Structure 1
Amino acid sequence: MLRFLLFALAIGNAGASHAQTAPFASDIVSYTGLHLAAHEGDVDEINRLIAAGADLNIRDRSLRTPAHIAAFASHDDALIALANGGADMNTLEDGIYDVLTIAAVANDPEMVSLAMQLGNKPDLITSVYDGTALIAAAHLGHHDVVARLVAGGAPLDHINNLAWTALIEAVVLGDGGKDHIKTVQILVEAGADKSIGDRDGVTALQHATSRGYTEMVDILK
């Protein structure tokens, strides 16, 4: 019964980590001003609009700011221009994601580091699961992103509303492959608390053991 429940939760959370919704074509054709400039990575236009007094935190219909759009489009220079102009780097769109978590899910290490440099807080609570960018990255096995978030001071032992930490998610929602193994290694070496259990008290080590993830087991021991 427990294994079935964990599987059901894993499926639900797996969808959630990808629940960020990039702008649809219908959104893009409606964009003007900073949203359009951010989508196109047009730094000159962004700077012109800022000088003209444009609202840096204007929202589209999904509550995305121009900074969110720049993140979805992987336009680093556009994000820098927006942040330098005074854009709020810690706003959440309607899926409850910030720039940092968008970049983490997209496996964009450079933008992850940049977002933190520009003031995006690594301890921000994001998603309907009350998680963090680190949990999202660990779940997906994005170990380069995990390493950068750890270096940036992301909380290692935050527990989301599924009662899972980044370490537990890397095991429970991972596939036991090299990317998730590396993720577990980074988290353990950084000092993640291996003793934390889920709602049933099952630790990351116990989850790894039950799944036959021998390399993870060796790291977690």
Structure 2
Amino acid sequence: MTTNEPTRRLLDAARRGDAEGVRAALADGAPVEARDGELRSPLLLASLGDHVDAARVLVEAGADPDAQDSRQDSAWLVTGVTGSVAMMRVLLPAGPDLTLRNRFGGVALIPASERGHVEYVRALLDETGIAVDHVNDLGWTALLEAVILGDGGRAHEEVVELLLAAGATPDLPDADGVTPLAHAERRGFDGIAALLRAAGQQD
């Protein structure tokens, strides 16, 4: 890991969201793909803090949205966790790999669905070709995560609606053969169960 002064300033500026500091450090020779002790790039640090202006400077300088750290996080994957539509849109022109997997084998859509990030899920499905039925290492799709790890409230109902409208397979089971509908019924998520039953009847 390079630890010269411009590199330190770049990493610190990205972490703080100081867009002008990022620009100045780059102008002074800091590598756009510098890494900190946890292998986080400046763009990943900006994404973690939802520092959109700093991220824009880095993207314009050619930063890689797919550069992964020691936890397999990347600037792109982190948007699925934060639910930041603005950051997602800043990163899209950099051509992120929509198939890039996090440490759980999931794509950005899965953590976003788990967390009930409705507007992010909507934008991601509308503006990219991300695989709606991607299965992670746990054997779960975005639809399954929205049910299994969601709270059954309105946000997760909306996520389920969006996923189904985007073509998610309503009866694709988990690794144990349990369907999203069965999980919803077990958890007493009546609204989600109704959506899944209706989608299953349309199939």
Regarding TM over 0.5, the answer is yes
**Structure 2 residue 110 is the aligned partner of structure 1 residue 139:** no
Aligned twin of 1:113: 89
**Structure 2 residue 50 is the aligned partner of structure 1 residue 74:** yes
The Cα of 1:112 is off from its aligned counterpart by 2.0
The Cα of 1:103 is off from its aligned counterpart by 2.2
Unaligned ranges ≥5, structure 2: 1-6, 198-203
The Cα of 1:63 is off from its aligned counterpart by 0.8
The answer as to whether partners of 1:59 and 1:66 remain within 8 angstroms in 2 is yes
2:72 to 70, 83, 96: 96
Deviations 1:93-151 (A, max 9, x none): 1111111222221222211222223322232111x211111101111111111112212
Amino acid in structure 2 at the alignment position of 1:35: L
The answer as to whether partners of 2:65 and 2:94 remain within 8 angstroms in 1 is yes
Deviations 1:165-198 (A, max 9, x none): 0000100111111111111010001111112111
Identity of aligned residues (%): 36
SS in 1 for 2:158: helix
Aligned twin of 1:20: none
The answer as to whether partners of 1:122 and 1:149 remain within 8 angstroms in 2 is no
2:180 and 2:90 map into 1 onto residues whose CA distance is: 31
1:204 to 171, 175, 180: 180
Aligned twin of 2:156: 180
Amino acid in structure 2 at the alignment position of 1:76: V
The Cα of 1:52 is off from its aligned counterpart by 3.2
Q: Mean Cα displacement is larger for which, 209-218 or 42-51? A: 42-51
Q: Mean Cα displacement is larger for which, 146-155 or 54-63? A: 146-155
The answer as to whether partners of 2:59 and 2:91 remain within 8 angstroms in 1 is no
Aligned CA-pair RMSD: 1.5
1:158 and 1:138 map into 2 onto residues whose CA distance is: 12
Amino acid in structure 2 at the alignment position of 1:175: D
The Cα of 1:49 is off from its aligned counterpart by 2.6
2:144 and 2:137 map into 1 onto residues whose CA distance is: 13
Amino acid in structure 1 at the alignment position of 2:78: I
1:200 and 1:104 map into 2 onto residues whose CA distance is: 26
Deviations 1:64-112 (A, max 9, x none): 0100111122211111111111111111111111112222212222112
Q: Give the 5 Å matches for 1:8-87.
A: 32-87=8-63
The answer as to whether partners of 2:64 and 2:94 remain within 8 angstroms in 1 is no
1:149 and 1:97 map into 2 onto residues whose CA distance is: 18
1:153 and 1:142 map into 2 onto residues whose CA distance is: 18
Aligned twin of 1:148: 123
The Cα of 1:42 is off from its aligned counterpart by 2.6
2:110 and 2:138 map into 1 onto residues whose CA distance is: 11
Amino acid in structure 2 at the alignment position of 1:158: H
